[in-house]
Structure formats: structure tokens, C-alpha cells
Amino acid sequence: MARSGHPDYARDMTAPFAFTHALCRTPAPSAVNGIRAGGGPDPELAGIMAEHAAYVAALRELGLTVDVLPPLDAFPDALFVEDVALTFAEGAILLRPGAPSRAGEAAHIRAALAERHGRVLELAGPGHVDGGDVLRLADRVIIGLSDRTDRAGAETLTALLGDLGYRAQIAQTPPGVLHFKTGCGLIDDRTVLAVPAMRDCPEFAGLEVVLTPMGEEGAANILRVRDTVLIGARWLATQALLAARGVPFRALPTDQIARIDAGLSCMSLRW
């Protein structure tokens, strides 16, 4: 873990990272059968459980109140709660994930969101959106079109975000990038870490774009929480990049969840 007393990062506590709460879900035994796009070794349940526990512990150590929902064995990907909802201080939005196997997940988190948010909106009508395609910036929200998020869903979500006071832009996720946030994550409110394929994303106008080092494209799904960036432990070159910029970071194990096409941002809802 690296830390810095850089004054910019104290100021950035007012950016969209000053979370106080998070909602997670315990992995079910079925998590080893989560959606995966390619080959590679199968995940191990003990490893998934350990990585999830380390993640929850890190959020708590960073000062967040973290509630952990019970597992849902009927939904192998249910531990990735970010794909089924968005949470803000102003309210929550229930989404409609694009993968058919995840169609019923939102119903199982509705009550938990209603207990914690005075206002819960819902993506209704045609279209689908995965939360992994939604990147919140300091001044706007980017919705990436992908295999899991279509234009009809993105346009409906744009209207719902407007109801909560947020401006949205619709972007195109490059081919080969599963979710928009698979390929990018915020270092701070002015800087985005992105894979080379997203270097020229027009929606990044006004931001500094820092590219992932060669061979570490998987590092792009970082998660900024308060003054600390969470990053996968195996991405050593990217950690060195953050350290050189004076960015506080904490390295977490992600080897097992990566085997089911997941990363750091998708394991929690934060507000």
C-alpha cells in the first residue's frame, strides 16, 4: 500500500469519491459459474470469498459503513451488485442488466435500496443497462454502450439521472471491452486511467487521460474511495505509475474474480 500527503488529494475529498456508505453481497457457491467471455482456469470459491472479504474490509478501513447482503445462489453473478443499480446521495436507480441470466437480480436488491434511500427510481420499458457501463465524473455521468447496455436503456437512464440532478452523456465502448469501466477508472476528479483503446474517447474531454502500461490493460478498473485508489494487486507497473504521481493506493487481490470477468468497482454500490 502506498500513501501520499499530496494536497490535491485532500481537496479531492469533495469530488465524487467522498463515500460514507457501501452495499455489497456475499458470494454464493454458484459464483464459480459466473458469466465469462473467454477461457482460462476456473475460479475457486474459497478464493472468491477471500477476495470479497478483503474488499469489504478495505472499504471499512477507509471509513465506510458497509452492509453485506446474503448470497443468492440462483444468481451466480449477484455479488457484482454494481451492475443492477446505481446509488447516489440523492437516491438510487434500479437497472436492467443486459445478460439474460441476471434479469431477476434487481428484484432482490430493491428492498435493501429502499431501506437506505428515500428515493428509488427504476429503469422501465425497453432497453438494458449494466452499472459497469456507468462512470460518474465530478460534473456528469458517462453511459457506455456495450454488449450489456443498449441505446434505449442508456436514453432511459439519462432521463432518470436528470431526475436526480445529474447530466449524462452516452459513449461508445470500444469493441473487445466488456464494460465501459472495464477499460477505465478515475484516478481523481480530473484524471482517468484508461486502456489504449479508449485514449481518444470524446467524452473524456477536459480530463487528463493516463494510459495503462503495456500488458496491464486489466488494471484500468480501479476504484477511487475517498483519498485512496483501490487497484488489483498484480498490476505492479500501474501501481508504480500511481506512486510516481503521488496517488495514495491500496492493492487488493483480484485473481479469482477476474476469472469471471469482474473487477473492483462491480463488487459494491457506494454513496
Q: Which of 24, 179, 184, 201 is catalytic?
A: 179
* pLDDT over 90, % of the chain: 90
Asked about 179 being catalytic, the answer comes back as yes
Of 10-14, 139-143, 254-258, least confident by mean pLDDT is: 10-14
Residue 13 pLDDT level (bands cut at 50, 70, 90): very low
Specify the DSSP class assigned to residue 78.
T
At 158 the pLDDT is 98
At 15 the pLDDT is 64
Q: Per-residue pLDDT for 3 more than 70?
A: no
Average of pLDDT values for 176-184? 96
Asked about 266 being catalytic, the answer comes back as yes
What class, spelled out in words, does domain 7-123+183-270 have in CATH? alpha beta
At 82 the pLDDT is 97
Q: How many CB atoms lie within 10 A of CB 122?
A: 16
Residue 112, classified by CB atoms within 10 Å of its CB into exposed (0-12), middle (13-18) or buried (19+), is middle
Residue 126 pLDDT level (bands cut at 50, 70, 90): confident
What's the pTM value of the predicted model, to 2 decimals?
0.92
Query: What DSSP element (H or E) covers 23?
Result: strand 21-25
Residue 125 pLDDT level (bands cut at 50, 70, 90): confident
Q: Which of 24, 184, 201, 266 is catalytic?
A: 266
Mean pLDDT estimate for the chain: 93
Q: Which residues pair with 136 in a beta bridge?
A: 141
At 48 the pLDDT is 98
Residue with cell 465501459: 180
Spell out the alpha helix ranges (H) of 164-262. Answer: 236-244, 255-258
Tell me which of 2 and 154 has the higher pLDDT.
Answer: 154
